[in-house]
Amino acid sequence: MRTPAPPLLPIFRSELQGRLLAFLYSNPDRGQSITALARRSASHIATVQREVERLEEAGILVSERVGRTRLVRPNLLSPYTDDLGSLVLKAFGPVRVLGDLLSAIPGVGRAYVFGSWADRYRGVRGPASADIDVLVIGRPDRDAIDQAALDARERMGREVNITIRSRKAWERGDDGFLQGVRAGNLVPIELES
């Protein structure tokens, strides 16, 4: 099935390609199996395998067999590595990068990207987002959240603004800020337990 070019960065052939590259470039030294990539991108294994083969033929990815598993990672010797890695992380990486950072902080119950980046991610056309707005639900340490925002900014090259609200405030929904956030696009950030 052919999917349209993503509105966040339409230079890629498909949304899937951008997401795969962002996932791989967010941790370039660690190989990922085709199965893990398919699960992470919610795509069929055969579709992911074809995309990986195209990117390997272009010299952007490399793979190796470990037993029966094929592990894929960015080709760090490619002249495109630094620039491409930067592009995909800026366009597709916030959910992945923020998931890794926020998962390490006790007290983070849920997290979402909202605002213009979430709009572009969901296919709403408009100007590129200059920053990334994040909503954290829970009672995490504020200093740890501030450090995560700085680390995310360093990794993605974009300002990251994190707002914290309690679980009770989220469930009540009478907070004007939360009402506005809920009225727009929300992109869940996957947190690892």
Average pLDDT of the chain, as a whole number:
89
Query: Does 82 reside within a domain?
Result: yes
CA 145/CA 101 separation, integer angstroms: 9
Rounded mean pLDDT of 86-93?
78
146 vs 39: which has the higher pLDDT: 146
Rounded mean pLDDT of 67-81?
93
Domain that residue 26 falls in: 15-91
Indicate the helix (H) or strand (E) that contains 53. helix 45-57
Query: Does 6 reside within a domain?
Result: no
Give the CA-trace dihedral at 76, 153, 40, 83, to 10 degrees.
-30
Q: Are residues 138 and 169 in the same domain?
A: yes
The DSSP 8-state label assigned to residue 104 in this structure reads T
Q: Are residues 129 and 171 in the same domain?
A: yes
pLDDT for residue 9 is more than 60 = no
pLDDT for residue 10 is more than 80 = no
Region of residue 67 (phi > 0: left; psi between -120 and 50: alpha; otherwise: beta): left
CA 40/CA 46 separation, integer angstroms: 14
Note the pLDDT of residue 185.
Answer: 95
Inter-residue contact 74 to 60 (CB < 8 Å): yes
Q: Are residues 164 and 111 in the same domain?
A: yes
Q: DSSP states of 57-80 as a string? A: HTTSEEEEEETTEEEEEE-TTSTT
Rounded mean pLDDT of 160-174?
95
Residue 18: pLDDT band by 50, 70, 90 thresholds? confident
**Residue in the structure block whose two tokens are 């398919």:** 38
Rounded mean pLDDT of 33-61?
91
Rounded mean pLDDT of 96-106?
93
Of 6-15, 69-78, 173-182, the one with minimum mean pLDDT is 6-15
The number of folded domains in the chain is 2
Query: Does 177 reside within a domain?
Result: yes
Q: What is the CATH number of the domain that holds 68?
A: 1.10.10.10
CA dihedral over 38, 42, 48, 49, signed as positive or negative? positive
Query: Does 116 reside within a domain?
Result: yes
pLDDT for residue 7 is more than 70 = no
Note the pLDDT of residue 128.
Answer: 75
